[in-house]
C-alpha cells in the first residue's frame, strides 16, 4: 500500500488472536456482572490510528513518543480526505515536524478508557496535557486545525473507532482507499 501525506490509517487487531479471546472474555464478564455496554467502546477492535507520510512510511503517536516508522503488517483501513480546504501535504508535513518527538500521554490513555466504560468525559477533560498526546488526539487535532474534522468528538477525547465511524459514515469527505478487514 502506498500512502499519501495525511492519509488516516486505522489499525485493527486480528480476529483470531489471544487479544480477541481475552477481549471476548472481558466483555462477557463486565456485561454479565455490571451490565456495562461502555466497555464495548473502550476496548475496540480498531485500536490504533496513525497518518501516512509517503509510500509505506507512517507517523505514529505511540509509546514512548511520536515517531516515523514503516507501516505495520496488520489488518488496517486507510481513508483519504476528499477535497480538503488547504494544501494538505504542506500542512501535514509542518504539523508532523512540529509534533515529532512529542511524548505519549499514558494518564490520558487510561482516563479515556475509564470515560468510555462509565459513559462520561470528566477524566479526559481533566487530564489534557498540551505537551503529550494519544493517537486519536494526534490525528483528529491535525484535521481539526485545517478545518476538515475527521470525528464528531473533540480532538481531546477522540479514539480510533470514533474516527473510523466518522470516515465510514461521511463518504463525501473521506474515501476508503484500502481495507484489509
Residues of the chain with pLDDT under 70: 13-45, 121, 125-126, 181
- Asked if residue 134 belongs to a domain, the reply is yes
- Asked if residue 98 belongs to a domain, the reply is yes
pTM of the shown model? 0.82
CA distance 91 to 49: 19
CATH number of the structural domain spanning residue 159? 3.90.1720
Count of domains in the chain? 1
pLDDT of residue 108: 84
pLDDT of residue 42: 46
CA distance 174 to 13: 22
pLDDT of residue 160: 87
- Asked if residue 2 belongs to a domain, the reply is no
- Asked if residue 60 belongs to a domain, the reply is yes
- Asked if residue 135 belongs to a domain, the reply is yes
- Asked if residue 129 belongs to a domain, the reply is yes
- Asked if residue 62 belongs to a domain, the reply is yes
Distances (CA, A) of 60 to 28, 56, 118, 157: 31, 13, 28, 17
pLDDT digits (tens, 9 = 90+) for 101-114: 999 988 888 887 77
- Asked if residue 1 belongs to a domain, the reply is no
pLDDT of residue 106: 86
Helix (H, G, I), strand (E, B) or coil at 137: helix
**What domain range includes position 134?**
8-179
pLDDT of residue 33: 60
pLDDT of residue 143: 96
Amino acid at each position: 500500500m502506498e500512502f499519501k501525506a495525511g492519509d488516516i490509517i486505522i489499525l485493527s487487531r486480528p480476529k483470531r488472536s489471544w487479544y480477541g479471546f481475552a477481549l471476548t472474555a472481558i466483555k462477557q464478564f463486565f456485561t454479565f456482572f455490571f451490565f456495562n455496554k461502555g466497555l464495548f467502546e473502550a476496548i475496540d477492535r480498531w485500536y490504533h490510528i496513525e497518518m501516512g507520510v509517503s509510500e509505506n512510511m507512517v507517523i505514529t503517536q505511540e509509546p514512548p513518543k511520536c515517531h516515523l516508522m514503516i507501516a505495520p503488517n496488520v489488518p488496517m483501513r486507510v481513508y483519504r480526505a476528499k477535497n480538503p480546504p488547504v494544501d494538505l501535504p504542506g500542512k501535514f508535513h509542518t504539523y508532523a515536524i512540529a509534533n515529532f518527538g512529542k511524548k505519549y500521554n499514558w494518564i490520558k490513555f487510561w482516563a479515556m478508557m475509564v470515560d468510555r466504560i462509565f459513559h462520561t468525559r470528566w477524566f479526559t477533560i481533566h487530564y489534557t496535557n498540551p505537551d503529550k498526546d494519544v493517537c486519536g488526539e494526534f490525528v483528529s487535532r491535525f484535521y481539526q486545525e485545517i478545518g476538515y474534522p475527521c470525528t464528531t468528538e473533540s480532538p481531546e477525547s477522540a479514539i480510533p473507532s470514533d474516527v473510523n465511524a466518522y470516515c465510514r459514515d461521511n463518504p463525501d469527505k473521506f474515501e476508503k482507499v484500502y481495507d484489509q478487514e
